[in-house]
Chains A and B, each alone.
Chain A
Amino acid sequence: MTSDCKRREFFGLMVSSVLSLSPTVRQSVDSLPGSGPSGRLWDPSRAGRPLEPVVAADNDAAIQAIEKRLHCTCGCGLDVYTCRTTDFTCTTSPAMHQHVVTLAQQGKSAQEILDAFVRESGVAILMAPPKRGFNLAGYFTPSLVILVAGVLLVLALRRWTRGAPAPIPAPPPPPDASPAELERLRHELEQFQE
């Protein structure tokens, strides 16, 4: 039986196996079986798009609040923050995030940043339309319709109940009713209300 192993490789294997038995040998940084040497993945392409390390601006609450008011234009329907922290294949939301960070670093306020995006991409870039002009109809029509319907309902109820028969007063319990009879009466009244 022949072997493909050369002499140098054979001695190398011998040395490494002896070292592996020694308690002083340095452990690999790999923490789990299956991971590649020196923390490299066996096939990085399986793990999706390569990412940059997170920086402080990525967790900045003020930046996130702005991004939650901006609509990602990749077609996902999500806001920029949700898209960039959910759909890691999207390249649009990270770019928009970078733009927000750049504007914030220039000292612009949240409103100025939003205005800059609206100037560049139109009002559809906002997750909720601004409260002006026709958009006011968007915000207030439902409440107005429910309010008007509520008023109409109250008026209708008043009209309907006006002609209703007067309530019949409950007859007083017989003076000689026993506690058991009174209890039964109370129970039946409760049943009546069901």
Chain B
Amino acid sequence: MTLLGNLALWVALLLGVWGAITGFVGGLYARPDLERSARNAVFAMCGALVLAVFTLEWALFHHDFNVEYVAAYTSRNLPIFYTWSALYAGQKGSLLFWATVLSLFGSLAQLFTARRHRVYLPFVAGVVCTVAAFFVTVMLFAANPFGRLPYTPADGSGLNPQLQNPGMVFHPPMLYLGYISMTIPFAFAIAALASKQLDSDWLIAIRKWTLVSWLFLSIGLVLGMWWAYVELGWGGYWAWDPVENAALLPWLTMTAFLHSVMIQEKRGMLKKWNLALVIGSWLLSIMGTFITRSGVISSVHSFTESPVGYYFAFFLLFAAVTSFTLYTRRLPLLTAEARLESMVSREAGFLFNNLLLVGIAFSVLWGTLFPILSEAIQGTKVTVGPPFFNQVNIPLGLALLALTGIGPLIAWRRASLPNLQRQFAVPVTAGVFTGLVLLLLRMRDFYALLAIAIGGFVLATVIQEFARGTRARRRQYREPAPLALAHLVARNRRRYGGYVVHTGIVVLFIAFAGMAFKTETEATLKPGESATVRSPYGWTYSFTHLGISQYDQLNRLVTAATIDVRRDGKRLGLLTTEKRQHVDALGRPTFQPSTEVGIRSDPLEDLYVVLGGVVGGTEQAVFRFTINPLVWWVWYGGMIVVLGGLIVMWPGGGSPAVKRAQAGYAVRLVGEEK
């Protein structure tokens, strides 16, 4: 079967090269035969890569340990769920996953792009084939998932215990889908530049793709945070690790794009900026892959150091130079269709929002690369950890949160003073009131207080917008309030879905602020002994060690400590925290013992208990007890963000022309019939 897999990769490479050549030549010289050939090459490449995936999965499920990848990431006793996900657990398999999904997205773009955007498709095929061919090249020459060992081990090494978590089954594919789907907007941007069709038409073609990409990245980031929280055991969910940063960077720039694209659609402005954001976001996604795979920056998440880093560095350089050369040559064609009318307008608000989002992205990138820069310039390697990132990014993040509330309150084109007074009165009052209440409650952490107060302001903004819209519909159409609200959202999904996203962002920021009040203590307890921890809300938690049991389970030997939890004397229940020694099918230990955290979560705070180990081989155990306020809201904030994203991208909601007529914009909306 590996022969078939290798053959499929070679066929995919040849098809990729062919599709790239015919796509660009066919598009540039308007040759329908070559254009058709490029389109077919994308489909055929997708078929070849799906066959390669099938072959690798076959080897994984049949425990063909002569295949080096299978031996390195699975074992006979690995649960079937994780055997399947081993496809993208390692460097080589994830490259195959990436190339396959890209070719699948490329095929979907060829199939479902509207007829009027067909002019872009040959170039899109060319870009997709180029990128996919690059990934297949890396596999064939540096990281072949079908490579064989000179011997066949009796069992494989198994999957890293920390990857044996449901979060890890879904988190990497979600991030990959986000990264990979970003190639389609990038391909359309290059197509628009290459074909000189630089009106706003290409933006309509990519609207859904940009949302899909942003949504997958959002889900991937939140799932990654959840996995880190429940699996790694350090009591937090974000550590400013280079790999985490690499995922955040394109999310930030895509968020900037989703805002600035509205100005181009409504006013025909910011064409250069939007193109640069799409190209930049894609380059950042490739750079994220380079950081993860090259070993150039040390990270707990990264794959082992390997020669693929050189391939990615070269490809990144080639793609950046090619894209921006083309971009620079087309700058004269990218003129604005309208002028900005006032500094106090929603357009200006969006520009400042973009400044902050891109500024934060730059700051995160700068911090991530600073150790390399420092070593190159002053010959000294430095560490840039959370203290650095928090110092630089918290003020910027709070300013961005404030703009999340300010933006929707300012009118398009030009805001008058009475309009501003009417719009800001309630939200500002809500923000100030929230801040005062927190001060009275003796909250003294400056940034946490500011985050929650600004959160109050933004939430009031969102509520005000929904309330006004619903009231207007009730008056006009005599609808009951719930129906008016539903119609309001359905009629303008982008706007009100956006507000739902803003609500999710507020919830996330408030949850982040909660971590300022994290409390933790270590204790050694014999069975029957208790440790007490005081929570930031003033409650006293008592943790009583009941004892330790040991048993075998699936592919691991478990040592489980059970803790009885009480709050101010009232019993809350039991918590179990474990040490797991994973073994292969022959009972041989495969990795160092890992920790399973015991978590009790409620909207106010999480109790987070970690079994460190035992003393002298007895039931006397070392525990870490952590109280994490408001963590519950990180996951629900993430869900609200995703819900808002789904509302925005849900199909329907009226034609662009109708929407435009409702809003009364002076400039033609893209997609409207000429």
Q: Which residues of A contact B (CB under 8 A)?
A: 29-35, 38-54, 58-59, 68-69, 71, 75-79, 82, 85-86, 88-89, 122-129, 133-135, 138-139, 141-143, 145-146, 149-150, 153-154, 157-158, 160-161, 163-165, 167, 183, 187, 190-194
Contact = CB atoms under 8 A, between A and B. Distances in A.
A68 to B, nearest CB: 8
B129 interface: no
B616 interface: yes
A53 B524 contact: yes
A192 B343 CA distance: 19
Given A39-B619, A124-B371, 20 more contacts: A29-B527, A32-B548, A46-B581, A48-B581, A48-B613, A53-B615, A85-B235, A85-B624, A88-B612, A89-B593, A129-B382, A138-B382, A139-B391, A142-B362, A143-B363, A149-B355, A157-B340, A167-B342, A190-B468, A191-B663
A63 to B, nearest CB: 11
B234 A78 contact: yes
A194 B408 CA distance: 9
A163 B366 contact: no
Contact of A194 (B363, B396, B663): B663
Interface of B: 232-235, 239, 241, 298-300, 339-343, 348, 351-352, 355-356, 359, 362-363, 366-367, 370-371, 373-374, 377-378, 380-388, 391-392, 396, 411-412, 414, 419, 468, 472, 475-476, 492, 495, 520-524, 526-528, 546-551, 557-559, 562, 579, 581, 592-593, 595, 610-620, 622, 624, 662-664
A146 to B, nearest CB: 4
Contacts, number: 242
Contacts of B663: 191-192, 194
B243 to A, nearest CB: 10
B366 A142 contact: yes
A127 B387 contact: yes
A161 B342 CA distance: 5
Given A46-B593, A129-B388, A191-B662, A86 B475 contact: no
A85 B363 contact: no
A187 B484 CA distance: 15
A30 B472 CA distance: 69
Contact of A47 (B380, B384, B579): B579
Nearest to A82: B234
A146 B356 contact: yes
A137 B445 CA distance: 28
A135 to B, nearest CB: 7
Contacts of B522: 54, 58-59, 85
Contacts of A157: 340, 343, 348, 351
A175 to B, nearest CB: 21
Contacts of A164: 339-342
Contacts of A78: 234, 239, 300
A134 B613 CA distance: 43
B340 A160 contact: yes
Given A43-B557, A77-B241, A135-B382, A86 B610 contact: yes
A30 B352 contact: no
A146 B612 contact: no
Main SS of chain B's interface residues?
mixed
Contacts of A46: 550, 557-559, 579, 581, 593
B380 A123 contact: yes
A67 to B, nearest CB: 12
B593 A33 contact: no
Contacts of A128: 383-385, 387-388, 391
A79 B385 contact: yes
Contacts of A51: 612-615, 622
A4 to B, nearest CB: 27
A89 B476 CA distance: 67
A184 B472 CA distance: 9
B548 A41 contact: yes
Nearest to A150: B355
B528 to A, nearest CB: 7
14 contacts: A30-B527, A30-B547, A31-B619, A35-B547, A50-B615, A51-B614, A86-B610, A89-B592, A126-B382, A127-B383, A128-B385, A139-B391, A142-B392, A187-B476
A79 to B, nearest CB: 7
* Chain A to chain B: the 8 pairs with minimum beta-carbon distance, closest first: A44-B617, A31-B547, A142-B363, A34-B549, A146-B359, A127-B385, A32-B547, A48-B593
A136 B609 CA distance: 39
B614 to A, nearest CB: 5
Residue picked from B412, B549, B559, B619, most chain A C-beta under 10 Å: B619
B300 A161 contact: no
A54 B622 contact: yes
B378 A124 contact: no
Given A88-B612, A146-B359, A164-B342, A75 B298 contact: yes
A194 B262 CA distance: 12
B383 A167 contact: no
A41 B581 contact: no
B350 to A, nearest CB: 11
B41 to A, nearest CB: 42
A81 to B, nearest CB: 9
A85 B624 CA distance: 7
Contact of B618 (A40, A139, A149): A40
Contacts of B412: 193
Contacts of B562: 32
Contact of B384 (A30, A33, A39, A138): A138
Contact of B341 (A88, A138, A167, A187): A167
B176 to A, nearest CB: 22
Nearest to A52: B615
A41 B300 CA distance: 32
B595 A88 contact: yes
By CB atoms of chain B within 10 A, which of A44, A77, A153, A167 has the most? A77
A68 B299 CA distance: 18
B230 to A, nearest CB: 13
A160 B343 CA distance: 9
A43 B550 contact: yes
A186 to B, nearest CB: 9
